[in-house]
Every structure is written in structure tokens, then in C-alpha cells.
Homo-oligomer: A and B are copies of this chain.
Amino acid sequence: MSTPSEAAPKSAGKLQFTLKTPKGTKDWADKDMVIREAIFGQLSSLFKRHGGITLDTPVFELREILAGKYGEDSKLIYNLEDQGGELGSLRYDLTVPFARYVAMNNIQSIKRYHIAKVYRRDQPAMTKGRMREFYQCDFDVAGTYESMVPDAEVLSILVEGLTSLGIKDFKIKMNHRKILDGLFQIAGVKDEDVRKISSAVDKLDKAPWEVVRKEITVEKGQTEETADIIGEYVKLNGSLQTVHDILANDKVFQANEKAVEGLKEIETLISYVNAFGIQDYISFDLSLARGLDYYTGIIFEAVTAASAPPKNASELKEKSKKQKKDDDDASEYVGVGSIVAGGRYDNLVNMFAEASGKKSTSIPCVGVSFGVERIFSLIKQRAEQNNNVRPTATQVFVMAFGGGKDWTGYLPERMKVAKKLWENGIETEYVYKSKANPRKQFDAADKSGCPLAVILGKEEYLENKLRVKRLGPEFANDDGELIDAADLIEVVKEKLSQVHEDGVDEVTRLLKGL
């Protein structure tokens, strides 16, 4: 049999390596996994509620599909090694694969959701939920519809999603690419510089205006005057209506065609978000830019108190840098960032259609993406005090009690009883041992946290009798009920329905923030 040592240089003897997962990735297990699966369940129900169908694309795409979609962040794409054949890269988000799918299959309209992992070679900050491999939960609407109608529904999905996960204290920062592009024009930024100035402005949630201003002027070569005009606009924020009204009365702004077009869409959006009753969550914030190249209309991201860096972030960062070499830790003091994000991207599908020589067809899209790991870390904090989430779903433990020389331990008999319970859909375990003493069997049941025991007594079993007993400290002195083996399923089902009548299960309680 070949062993890992074969892979080592012959002279080195046994290969030695540290057991770990690659940087920025982790294993998910036990209670964390149960909580995360419950979050996925909640979000996929939400997406189905809005008529979504689900799509699963490969984890890697042909490299050319991802090229030119992510601006400065393209350097964060993971490439597959050239092993002969096609060149591939791990997907960076779920949006580009979705657009590729829509273009490839000539789809005219679709509402799809996709819950899957994406990959970014970014600086990880594990405790804040920023990873190199992480899940996105996306809902996107593709198709030509009346202005702002799907956009409003996508915003409603954002609000319904977060509130259903017990997150109520959040704000949706919103802006519009056309408004942003318009104000860059007003400030005198050349068309070819717009995206790089936009990505400088995008840093305003992490850095003060002076730092960004310096980037715009010194690093990115704009005039002081240009920077000052940008500075005046990007400090505007407030309700959609308030900021709308300010811009509607700004003569300079109103003279820019693109900006006015964007503002008109915001006006339409206002009546729809009012219909959904979600207007109070939204803050119109002209400093929001979002890095991705493909957005063309509204852009938004949801932030919570935990999204912001702590007040003493830079101090902590310095301290951490002095103490440790590993800058993973230094980057942890930036807050979790946005927990949901999205926007409209009307040209991405067409970009694929054209690049592949298909007839140019505009398929406008708008979508929202939930960052589950970040949401998870918020919910996990809730669980720190009161975490009774069980990692298994086991409901019944099958045990056998007996003794004496002739005592076989009833292992095949326990297997038969377990099989009957499994066949009836009941989660069942037993100890993998011929002769297990009662203590060990109770301990194993306790460890799993399961509520019921079915006991094969040495003599009772020979008379076709089984004992069904509630588990847990409050039933320590309860001997349970002796029943006919034939009634097993009926009795177990009834007792389990009593158990679960008692209350909401722990995961639901946790998700809802109860």
C-alpha cells in the first residue's frame, strides 16, 4: 500500500506536514453546521416564496468567462493549474456564472436563486467571517420589465431575509450608478477614469474623506477642484425622498442627463418600496460606489452596527502588528463589512452574448446576495450564552439490559428494532457493542441529547415486550412504559409528538433571536 511517505523526497524519510485547511478556509461541523444549514433553509424558503427556481453552476468556469468582470479585484481570482486542456478559474461570485448561463441558453427571463461557495484570494479575517472560501446566497431577476419593479422586490427580499433571521437593526445603503457617473462627469472626471475614481470613493466606509481625497488627487491624478465637487456630493445621505428632493433642486445636477435619468428611476422606486413598507430601512448614500465593474443601475448594501470597524481599529491594528507577524490578525479590526449586497447589471448578459458571437440581446438583471458567513457570525454571538442546539437529530436510543453467563447482549435484536424504527422514519441509534452495560448505553444516549429510549429487557424481550422511556434528568426515576413489541412504532410516534409539543426547537429559537 502506498503511503504519504512516497510523495516525499527519498532522502527526507517520512513526509511531515501540518494538518490544516488552506488559508482562509475552514471545516464546518457540529452545531455551527446545524445553524448554518438552518440559515440556508430559511433563505431558500424565502427565495422560493418569491418564485425563484434554483440553479447550480460548476465551481470553476473557463478563465475567459471571468476575465474583465471584477475590476481591481481580478487579482483575487483562483486559477486552476494548466494540466492540459482548457484553462479554468474558481468562480469569484455567483453573478457572472448566472449571466453566462442566461446568455448561453438564450433565456429571456428567469428568477433564480443559488446558494453556493465562491472563492477570493483575499486577506482573510476569520473571526469576522471574512474567508477565502465562503457561501453566497443569491437571488437574481433577469428579463426586460418595467423600470424598478424587480428592483423593489429584490429589496423586499433583502429585508424579509434579514428580519427572518432575527436581524432587525440594519440599514440598506443605496446609490445609483448613473447618478454616480453623472456626478463624476459634473466634477470633470474623464470617462476612462470613472471606474478608478469610483473604486476610490468606495473606500469611504473604511477611510475618512481626507484619505480618499488624496487617493483621487495624488494617486489618481484628478484636480483639486474635481475632488472638491465629488466631496460635496458624496457627503449627501438620508431617506430616498430627502436626498431625491435635494438633487431634484440642484441645478448643476439637473443639467446632467445621466444623473437625471438615475434620479428618475429612484423616484419610481420610492412608490414601490413604500408599497412594500421597507422605506425606513433605506438610506440614499451618494458615497456608496461598490467595486464591481458590472453594475449599471441601483447598487446597495446592508450594514449593521457590527459592520463598522471598532472606534479604536487603527490602534488595535498597530498593536497587533507589533505583537505578531501574521497580518491575518491585523486585518480583523475592520468590522464584518456589508452582510448583504446587490444591484442592477443590465449589460453583463449581453457582454457574453456578443463575445460568443451571438446576436446582441439586452437581458437586464438585478440581484441580491446574502453573505452567510457574516450573518452566521452575528447569529453565533447570540448563541454564545444559550446554545442548546443539538448536532444530531437522534430521537430514539435502543438499549438492551441483562446479565448472567448466557447473556448475549441482544445486539442483532437491537439492530432489528432499530431497523423497524428507521423504516418508519424515526432517527435511531444504539451502541456498537454486543454486551454494553446500562450505564454506557445511557451515557451515549445522553451525549446525543435524544429524548427517548427503547429498552430490550432480557426476559421482557422474550415475551415480545419492549420498554419505552423518556430520557433526561427529570425522568431519572421513571421506569418508562412496558409495551407490546407490535405497538412500538405507534407508541414511539405518540411519545415523540408529546416531546416536540413542549416548545420551539433550539435552532428556530436561535434564528429568530428568541
A interface residues with partner B (beta carbon < 8 Å): 1-7, 14-23, 25-30, 33-34, 36-37, 45, 48-62, 64-65, 67-69, 71, 78-83, 85-86, 88, 90, 100-101, 103-104, 112, 117, 119, 121, 133, 141, 143, 145-146, 149-150, 152-153, 156, 160, 194-195, 271-272, 274-277, 293-294, 347, 351-352, 354-358, 391-394, 411-413, 415-416, 419, 422-423, 425-429, 432-434, 448
A50 — which chain B residues lie within 8 A by C-beta?
422, 427-429
Q: Is the CB of B272 within 8 A of A415?
A: yes
Q: How far is the CA of A26 from the CA of B311 in the complex (A)?
A: 47
A62 — which chain B residues lie within 8 A by C-beta?
17, 20-22
Given the interface pairs A59-B133, A81-B79, the reply to whether A15 lies near B412 with Cβ below 8 Å is no
Q: Is the CB of A79 within 8 A of B68?
A: no
Q: How far is the CA of A86 from the CA of B132 in the complex (A)?
A: 13
Q: How far is the CA of A29 from the CA of B27 in the complex (A)?
A: 28
In-complex Cβ contact of A54 among B33, B101, B275, B419 (8 A):
B33
A34 — which chain B residues lie within 8 A by C-beta?
54
In-complex Cβ contact of A1 among B19, B61, B293 (8 A):
B293
Tally of this chain's copies: 2
Given the interface pairs A4-B351, A25-B60, A33-B53, the reply to whether A432 lies near B86 with Cβ below 8 Å is no
Q: Is the CB of B83 within 8 A of A356?
A: no
Residue of B nearest to A347 (CB): B1
Q: How far is the CA of A34 from the CA of B50 in the complex (A)?
A: 16
Residue of B nearest to A357 (CB): B16
Q: How far is the CA of A355 from the CA of B4 in the complex (A)?
A: 7
Q: How far is the CA of A101 from the CA of B54 in the complex (A)?
A: 31
Smallest CB–CB gap between A333 and chain B, Å? 22
A79 — which chain B residues lie within 8 A by C-beta?
80-81, 83
Q: Is the CB of B64 within 8 A of A7?
A: yes
Smallest CB–CB gap between A429 and chain B, Å? 4
Residue of B nearest to A36 (CB): B56
* Residue among A1, A52, A419, A429 facing the most chain B CB atoms (10 A cut-off): A1
Smallest CB–CB gap between A201 and chain B, Å? 15
A433 — which chain B residues lie within 8 A by C-beta?
145-146, 149
A67 — which chain B residues lie within 8 A by C-beta?
4, 6-7, 15
Q: How far is the CA of A62 from the CA of B23 in the complex (A)?
A: 9
Smallest CB–CB gap between A29 and chain B, Å? 5
Q: How far is the CA of A143 from the CA of B48 in the complex (A)?
A: 40
Smallest CB–CB gap between A441 and chain B, Å? 14
